Amino acid sequence: MSGAANHDDAYDLGASFPVTEARRQRPGTTLLVTGAGGSADRAAREILRAGRDASEGVVVITTSRPATERRADLTVPGKQDDWLALVDLAEESDGPRPDDLAAVGRGLNEAIDGLDTPRVRTGILSLTGMLEHLDRTEAFKFCHVVRDRIDDAGFLGVATLDTDQIESATVSMLQEAFDGTVEIREDEKGELLRVVGFPDTPVTWHAWS
């Protein structure tokens, strides 16, 4: 089903992704990106931006940061940005509320439809933000249903969790709703990244910059 792949239709996680065995992922794969503070967000952004380089579409569900800031995070000023569509769940937006999952789903449908491309990367930035409005069982089911959608459509999905804010039992439970996890941690030399959950990818830390 999902996992590392060398097929032509694989999604490339980008040149900066340090785990060679996991850099190319089969369509339909979902990844949870975990790390402290903004590290997971940075890794997810790099994975999504690699989609632009591959002429794919990108849809981001944004929770904590408003859509305008998110767009600025992901795009280059003055360059074309119609490859990116946002579903804005931030408090001050008029988008769907994060606890109205049917409405979030409709927003996602419309965003995907608007991109009009068969290759799409979706990002939930962040799942931490959704957990302010959902309990862990609701968040789990949400991720599971989204995974099904991604699997069916042959997309690539990422979602981020800030491990400073979410207890480890919840992280470990939510991991089960994804095909694999990209973990980020910091040691005295800098940031490290590893991939967990794919049989053909060794679970070892790699320097990540």
Query: Closest separation between CB of residue 37 and other proteins, Å?
Result: 23
Name residues contacting other proteins, limited to 8-47 (CB under 8 A). none
Query: Closest separation between CB of residue 63 and other proteins, Å?
Result: 16
- Work out which of 54, 145, 203, 207 binds other proteins, going by CB under 8 A: 145
Q: Is 159 in the site for other proteins (CB under 8 A)?
A: no
- Work out which of 79, 94, 169, 199 binds other proteins, going by CB under 8 A: 169
Q: Is 97 in the site for other proteins (CB under 8 A)?
A: no
What are the DSSP calls for 33-78, one per residue? EEESTTHHHHHHHHHHHHHHHTT-EEEEEESSS-HHHHHHHHS-TT
Q: Of the candidates 41, 83, 39, which has an alpha carbon nearest to the alpha carbon of residue 62?
A: 41
SS3 content of the chain, % helix, strand, coil (to 5): 35, 25, 40
Q: Is 178 in the site for other proteins (CB under 8 A)?
A: no
Q: Is 111 in the site for other proteins (CB under 8 A)?
A: no
Distant-in-sequence contacts of 64-68, Cβ < 8 A, 24+ apart: 64/90, 64/125, 64/126, 64/128, 64/129, 65/90, 65/125, 66/90, 66/92, 66/93, 67/93, 67/95
Q: Is 132 in the site for other proteins (CB under 8 A)?
A: no
Q: Is 68 in the site for other proteins (CB under 8 A)?
A: no
Q: Of the candidates 82, 5, 84, 17, which has an alpha carbon nearest to the alpha carbon of residue 47?
A: 17
Q: Which stretch binds other proteins (CB under 8 A): 9-17, 44-52, 141-149, 155-163?
A: 141-149
- Work out which of 10, 75, 149, 206 binds other proteins, going by CB under 8 A: 149
Which residues lie near other proteins (CB under 8 A)?
A: 99-102, 104-106, 108-110, 113, 135-138, 140-142, 144-146, 148-149, 152-153, 169-170, 172-173, 176
